[in-house]
Amino acid sequence: MSDLLASNTPEWSVSELSGALKRMIEGEFGHVRIKGEISGYRGPHSSGHVYFSIKDSSAKIDAVMWKGVFGRVKFRPEDGMEVIATGKITTFAGKSSYQIVVESLEPAGVGALLAQLEERRQRLAAEGLFSDARKQLLPFLPQVIGVITSPTGAVIRDILHRLADRFPRHVVVWPVRVQGETSAAEIANAIEGFNALPDNGPIPRPDLLIVARGGGSLEDLWSFNEEIVVRAAANSMIPLIAAVGHETDWTLIDYAADRRAPTPTGAAEMAVPVRADLESTTADLGRRLHLAVRRLSDRRKSDLRSASRALPTLDALVAVPRQRLDLAASKLGRGLERNAARHRSLLTDAARRLIRLSPQARVASLRARLDGLGQRLIASQGASLRTERQKLDRQHQTIRDLSARSTRALAVLLDRRRSRLSTASQLLTSVSYQGVLDRGYALVLDATGKPVRSADTVQPNNALTLVFSDGNVAVHAD
């Protein structure tokens, strides 16, 4: 009976059964909204599609989000985030499983985004990105201001209008999206691009940056909470003002920026001072400086008049020197007479000494001394000649003895050298090859003039030279 029932059961192919199940599930459920926690999220696949799971405390369902749908998601999914997914239930025959094809994805309430935002804020703060030590002072009056915002919104018009009212400056706008999937990367690239501009390039490098956006919901402002934007703002070498949303809106870029403005208009007010106020202050300082110079000049004039009254007159200054001159003039005549008398006495004494030292007296004295020395010289010459003659005789004898001894020594040395030379000549003759040639032998030389020591080194037709005792013969080897 069981065999009969089995034979009546229709047979299905695997593909037919999978297709039937697919049609039944898709027809029964259609579009659904499910709430759960993201699990196994790894980011977009190389194709751009996203694969993950949605689970609760007791079950899990696979989910797939196509590339176009993922591009419209306003936040970045993460593992553990509670979301609400809207999509179509279908089956995947390749794994014999069912899954949801997500068509929209949103956080399960603002609380999930706030929890993610707080976790990211604490993590980046722990890295020191929000430290006050990293923040830079804003320039008092920047020459060039870089604005990163949407070029079509009211924000850029408000900033330009406020700058024109307060103090017109050169503004360079870097247009970016301020909402959507690519907005975070565009904002970060704009901050890094402004920092990479050269100082003297065709596009002027800003002295100050303003990142601005109008108000919106937490999801609308989420791009300014992305980590890539926060790190770009913290690493900016150009001072940066964050003006995102309204005064009550706070994003993570506000913590990383050097200053936070409550509104984009407030950022323009922070960027530049009021020109009229500066002109008024400058004029006031100029007036105060002029008054101070005048007071200083008046005080110096008064001090000069007081000093001039304390100075002595010209007559008082020359009175004492004039009196000294008159006194010296009265003493000059007597002084000259005393000086002349003293010099006259000195000249008389000098004349007496000169008489004693006259040339005639000195010549007579020297002639007497010369006569005495001549007599002594004649007496000493005879004895000196006899002594010198005896010394010369002794030296001549010594020279004759040394000459005889050197002659005998030279003869002995020459005999010895002749004997050694004869012995060496006989030894050289005995070992010379010339003696061998004289006995009838011949010396074989190659073309380079070197001796041939073995027959193995001679090749046919090699040019050889035979050296005999009485001449040379050129030959060729066979």
| Cross-strand bridge partners of residue 473 | 466
All residue ranges of the chain with pLDDT < 70 are 1-9, 12-30, 74, 93-96, 109-113, 358, 360-361, 382
Q: Model confidence over 398-407: pLDDT tens digits?
A: 888 888 888 8
Using a cut of 0.75, tell me whether the model's pTM lies above it: no
pLDDT at 112: 65
66 and 44 Cβ atoms separated by less than 8 Å? no
**Of 146, 175, 415, the residue nearest 268 (C-alpha):** 146
pLDDT at 152: 86
177 and 155 Cβ atoms separated by less than 8 Å? no
Q: Model confidence over 164-197: pLDDT tens digits?
A: 999 999 999 999 998 887 889 999 999 999 999 9
For CATH 3.40.50.261, list the domain ranges present in the chain: 141-276
pLDDT at 45: 82
**Of 279, 137, 256, the residue nearest 208 (C-alpha):** 137
Residues 6+ apart with CB under 8 A from 256: 124, 129, 130, 230, 231, 233, 234, 242
Which CATH architecture group holds 6-108? Beta Barrel (2.40)
Q: Model confidence over 323-356: pLDDT tens digits?
A: 788 788 878 878 888 888 888 888 888 877 777 7
For CATH 2.40.50.140, list the domain ranges present in the chain: 6-108
Residues 6+ apart with CB under 8 A from 22: 90, 91, 93
State which fold the 141-276 domain adopts: Rossmann fold (3.40.50)
d(CA 18, CA 171) in angstroms, rounded, equals: 63
Half-sphere exposure of 117 (CA within 13 A, CB side): 19
Q: How far is CA 235 from CA 135, 136, 230, 252, 253, in A?
A: 10, 11, 9, 14, 12
Task: Name the DSSP letter for residue 224.
Answer: G
